[in-house]
Amino acid sequence: MSQEVISCELHDFVEVVCMYNYRLKLILKDGQIIEGKAIDIVNSPERRECLVIDGDTRQHIDLTRLSKMEVLTPNAKFSEVIFE
């Protein structure tokens, strides 16, 4: 049984946004847009890695659903990551 995962390089970017609690604009593969502050990476009950985002509500976003991550925090280490 194989499970879809993101590359180690892309995972590193997700770890950095959590470490610095960057404000993000996430664009998911289905076109949905989510904005909020990066909090942590957790495992779901289904053993999927999820980015915890604190916006209007706290959400868990499966990392494999990400299409693009824009950093809204000024003077961040990077500004955009594409997950294609």
**pLDDT tens for residues 36-83?**
999 999 999 989 999 999 988 999 999 999 999 999 999 999 999 999
Structural domain of residue 26, as residue ranges?
Answer: 8-73
Quick check: helix, strand or coil at residue 72?
coil
pTM over 0.85: yes
> Does residue 35 lie in a domain region?
yes
> Does residue 13 lie in a domain region?
yes
Tally the domains of the chain: 1
C-alpha angle with apex 16: 41 to 67, nearest 5 degrees? 70
State the DSSP H helix or E strand holding residue 42, giving kind and residue range, or none if neither.
strand 33-43
| Strand arrangement, sheet containing 66-71 | 58-62, 49-54, 33-43, 23-28, 66-71, 80-82
> Does residue 26 lie in a domain region?
yes
CB 71 within 8 A of CB 22: yes
Give the CATH number for residue 16: 2.30.30.720
> Does residue 78 lie in a domain region?
no
> Does residue 83 lie in a domain region?
no
